[in-house]
Amino acid sequence: MMMLPSTVPSFAFAILLAIIIVRPGVLASSSSSFGGSNAAFVGSVNGGSQHRGELLSFQRTAGQASARIATTDRSSRLPSPPTARETIRGTAIMPPSTTRLFGKRMKFQPPPRVVEQTELVQLDPENNGSDAWKTMDLLDILLDRGGLGVLPTDTGYCFVTPVNSKKGLERLIRLKCKNNPIGMLCSDLSTIDKYCYGIDKDVFKMCKKYFPGPHTFVLPAKPSTTPKAIFKGSQKETLGMRMPNDPVLRYLQDELLGGMPLLVSSVSAEDRNEDGVYDDDEEECGLDLIDEPWYNQVDFVVDAGPRPCDGSSVFDMTTRGQPTLVREGLGELELAI
């Protein structure tokens, strides 16, 4: 029998390995024929046990290499799954984060109401606030849940929410009229000193003389205590302080809420001009709850009958010397110490 040189098997194995690396599918397609030729080849080669070990070792190495190449080849051909931030023409596609509310495009959707249905409390105007005890049911909405509602004042109706309610303030900003600023309803002078600067001797005497009443005093706000969202879009960090002389509001804020400050903004009306004053000759006006677009957006409404139509007289107390009249309203136009 003819003997093959000892270098032939190693040379053949090297050629086969090169073919497998270049064409990864050749091992799978020729595995049966390769196994049969291996048996005949090993039996005819001198020193078969040595070459048999080399053959088995080569088969394991070649199989692992072929599996890795096939996996890499398949992954390169298959499309990668879409990610959360696909891009088209260099622009990232993100889920929509804007929504339309009241005809305007808002960045975020406002927080939902804290009640399923608006709670309506109707009072008899002829009782002059003696039935204000009916508002006791609103304590849970205001104190515990930080709701947003409508209350009567001595100069009309206003949206109100607790000063420490972040969600209530977000809803108030989206619901109020664009031209109506956000002020604060206070029950005593210490509240003004807590949220505002500039309470000197003269300002203190004016507040003591004209509060409660239909006046609004604009003072520099303290950033440490006043919510910063109030000043968004405003050039000055000022706050309009009010202490209305309305029996229903005074009972609710002083007696039931224990003097808790309330953020406030006037309820807009179609017949008001850009300064917040009514154009017609009506002295009093009430709420038309059926046609009010905001009714289903608030948590409660206290309807105490008609209230004076004109707003409060607004004075800028940030100027030195005599206060500056900003808007004419029901209050006195000339302040004196």
Write the Ramachandran bin of 234: left for phi over 0, alpha for psi from -120 to 50, otherwise beta.
beta
The answer to whether residue 333 is domain-embedded is no
Quick one: average pLDDT of 221-240?
88
161, 289: one domain: yes
218, 271: one domain: yes
35, 153: one domain: no
pLDDT tens-digit readout, 4-55: 445 445 556 666 665 655 455 444 444 444 444 444 433 444 444 454 455 4
Question: What's the domain range around 61?
Answer: 7-69
262, 319: one domain: yes
pLDDT tens-digit readout, 291-307: 788 999 999 999 999 99
Q: Is 162 a residue whose pLDDT tops 70?
A: yes
The answer to whether residue 224 is domain-embedded is yes
User: Which residue has 């947003």 as its token pair?
Assistant: 148
256 contacts 135 by C-beta, under 8 angstroms? yes
The answer to whether residue 87 is domain-embedded is no
Q: Which of 28-32, 143-147, 169-173, 245-249 has the lowest mean pLDDT?
A: 28-32
Question: Which pLDDT value is given to residue 151?
Answer: 96
pTM of structure: 0.65
123, 60: one domain: no
Per-residue pLDDT band at 198 (split at 50, 70, 90): confident
25, 150: one domain: no
The answer to whether residue 294 is domain-embedded is yes
Quick one: average pLDDT of 211-230?
93
The answer to whether residue 284 is domain-embedded is yes
Q: Is 98 a residue whose pLDDT tops 60?
A: no
Compute the radius of gyration of the chain from its Cα atoms: 41
Q: The CATH number of the domain where 295 resides is what?
A: 3.90.870.10
144, 208: one domain: yes
142, 285: one domain: yes
Question: Which pLDDT value is given to residue 84?
Answer: 42
Q: Which of 58-72, 93-107, 292-306 has the highest mean pLDDT?
A: 292-306
Can you tell me the distance from the alpha carbon of 204 to that of 189, in angstroms, rounded to the nearest whole number?
A: 8
Q: Which of 65-74, 84-93, 258-267, 290-299 has the lowest mean pLDDT?
A: 84-93
* Sign of the alpha-carbon torsion through 274, 280, 281, 287: negative
Question: Which pLDDT value is given to residue 320?
Answer: 72
Structural domains of the chain, count: 2
Average per-residue pLDDT for the chain: 75
Q: Which of 72-81, 99-108, 132-141, 231-240 has the highest mean pLDDT?
A: 132-141
32, 161: one domain: no
192, 53: one domain: no
Find, among 205, 192, 203, 277, the residue nearest to 240 by Cα. Answer: 192
The answer to whether residue 1 is domain-embedded is no
The answer to whether residue 61 is domain-embedded is yes
